[in-house]
Amino acid sequence: MVELGFNDDTVTNVRMNLLASANTSWELGTAAEALTELSWPSLAVFQSSAFPPITNESHRPSDVIDIATNQQLDYLLNHAPRSPSGAISQRTDEVQLWSDFVYMGPPFIAYYGALQGGDKGAALLQTAYDQCRLYRNELRDANGLWRHVALGSWQDRTHWGTGNGWAAAGMLRVLETIQKSTHASNFIEQQANLTSWIQEIVKTAWNYQQEDGALLNTLDDSSSFTDTSATAILAAVTYRMAVVRNDTTDIHDASMALRAIANNMDANGWLLNTVNPYTFNSPTDAGNHSPEGQAFVLLLHSAWRDYVDYFTQDDN
């Protein structure tokens, strides 16, 4: 039996709270992705309609947006600091690799490549894949989980739950972009690797799932505290991967997590018991909330909805 998702009132409140609380660049970007998957799923990379995207007066990008995306791509490829292996730095002031980057950079590069098409587009798809590979080589530990931060003036060697969620969800978007592109048949090995790398993270994470369905802030540290943000994003990835692989093996874990998230939503649509997204190692203070946690709830709901739709159609 599939756990029920959130009702319309809850989703509306979560969405309103996300828009009211998101301020930083990564919060706004994650909010944009969450709202796309929630309200305009035909534009998301998880749908067969992703490429070419719908174009009409309400969706056509302006010249200003075109210029901004071109400049962003140019900066990432040609100006951003890089590690000795070629991994693009999360930071601009020093070379430092954060697992968060895998959700921010490679999906953008891959999407740009899928839109561009041709040899240049294929090269960008390969670049997006390579960035996932290089980050994994630098951050992955022997147990399959990723460390949060490597290189630079300081490191975070913990297996931060949200960081593993960023990595898995980012690689998922790259995988789906490649699969929906016109170059999919030329990227068979890359797709297989990305699938394996994503599954490695989520399966290992669920090994540490608590009795109430939640995950801990440091996934494999029993002394750590519950983090519903990590729980939500990794559950979202698990529902998405069930569709990608046509395999429901891990849905029990995702459903337990979905129930945990529902049990940690207050009446006003705020997700409780999140990690403080600005410190990484402490719970969010009472009365404060995590904007990215709000976005992850919407990502989870959309992933659950699309999972149910897919397997219901399959049964019919």
Of 208, 228, 295, 211, the closest CA to residue 28 belongs to 295
Q: Could you tell me which residues are beta bridge partners of residue 227? A: 215
Radius of gyration, CA atoms only, the chain: 18
Q: Is the pTM of this model over 0.85?
A: yes
CB 78 within 8 A of CB 88: no
pLDDT, tens digit, for every residue of 150-198? Answer: 999 999 999 999 999 999 999 999 999 999 999 999 999 999 999 999 9
Amino acid at residue number 118: G
The dihedrals phi and psi of 82, each to the nearest 5 degrees, come to -135, 155
Helical packing angle, 8-21 and 25-39, nearest 10°: 160
Amino acid at residue number 120: K
In three-state secondary structure terms, 170 is helix
Residue 53 has pLDDT above 90, yes or no: no
In this prediction, residue 52 carries a pLDDT of 81
Q: What is the mean pLDDT of residues 227-233?
A: 98
Of 105, 121, 198, 206, the closest CA to residue 161 belongs to 206
pLDDT, tens digit, for every residue of 113-138? Answer: 999 999 999 999 999 999 999 999 99
Residue 316 has pLDDT above 80, yes or no: no
Amino acid at residue number 226: T
CA 304 from centroid of its chain's CA atoms = 14
Residue 312, C-beta contacts closer than 8 angstroms, at least 6 positions apart: none
CB 261 within 8 A of CB 232: yes
Residue 1 has pLDDT above 70, yes or no: no
Token pair recorded at residue 205: 């994470």
CA distance 298 to 33: 10
In three-state secondary structure terms, 215 is strand
Domains (range + CATH), the chain:
1-37+208-316 (1.50.10.10), 40-198 (1.50.10.10)
Cα 159 to Cα 156, 221, 301: the distances in Å are 8, 9, 25
The dihedrals phi and psi of 265, each to the nearest 5 degrees, come to -100, 130
Lowest mean pLDDT among 61-70, 73-82, 204-213: 61-70
CA distance 186 to 203: 28
In this prediction, residue 315 carries a pLDDT of 59
CA distance 283 to 275: 4
CB 218 within 8 A of CB 158: yes
pLDDT, tens digit, for every residue of 267-306? Answer: 999 999 999 999 999 999 999 999 999 999 999 999 999 9
